[in-house]
Amino acid sequence: MMVSVRLTISKDDPCLFITAVANHRLPVFRADAIKTITCGAIDEARTSCGFLLFAYVIMPDHIHVLTDSPRKPSAVLQFIKGIVSRRVLGYLKEMKYDASLRKLEHDDWKRNHRYSLWQHDSDVFSTVSESIFMQKVNYIHQNTVRAGLVERAGDYRWSSARIWNKCAREDEPLRVDLDQIVWRRS
């Protein structure tokens, strides 16, 4: 986890609200094993790219993350999608989940890539104020409630909601960098 950088949310230091959707909206992230791999891959991307992670949720067919932007938004997105894709597809191949892999197969092989975990269009929204930042945090955490996965956001294991509510468990699948935010107002 990055600890040397502190962030004041502003036009000069925007945050990125990223949504990445699974190819054909397939529920790729439904199984806990895949969610665990995805959390590890997001953490690996955080370390490799050098971004801070402020909020996240892993839904059955998409993910949302809220990060800072130490690089161009396209680079942060590339690190997240690339590493998650390699780890998840590697797991599916290792476990011989051929039916799942066939659903992710595509005809147009680019650079010898036979499978595509993600839809090509991802949303990256620049967040330049604390109020918009908090709207995105709430949207991320309430996503599971709106989808009917849980009644309360904190009940969903694959989200940063418990950490934000100061109810983190010892075995959180992914930690966030809340202590690196410099708030303008208390």
The domain segmentation of the chain, as residue ranges, is 15-180
Helix/strand/coil (H/E/C) assignment for every residue in 103-149: HHEEEEEECCEEECCECCCCEEEEECCHHHHHHHHHHHHHHHHHCCC
Q: How big, in percent rounded to 5, are the helix, strand and coil portions of the chain?
A: 40, 20, 40
Q: Provide the pLDDT for residue 31.
A: 97
Taking the model in full, what pTM does it have? 0.93
pLDDT tens by residue, 20-66: 999 999 999 999 999 999 999 999 999 999 999 999 999 999 999 99
Average pLDDT for residues 74-94, to the nearest whole number?
A: 96
CATH 2.60.120.560 fits 15-180, yes or no: no
Q: Provide the pLDDT for residue 1.
A: 43
CA dist 180 and 99 (Å) reads 42
pLDDT tens by residue, 130-178: 999 999 999 999 999 999 999 999 999 999 999 999 999 999 999 999 9
CA dist 86 and 41 (Å) reads 9
Average pLDDT for residues 103-119, to the nearest whole number?
A: 81
pLDDT tens by residue, 44-53: 999 999 999 9
CB 153 within 8 A of CB 159: yes
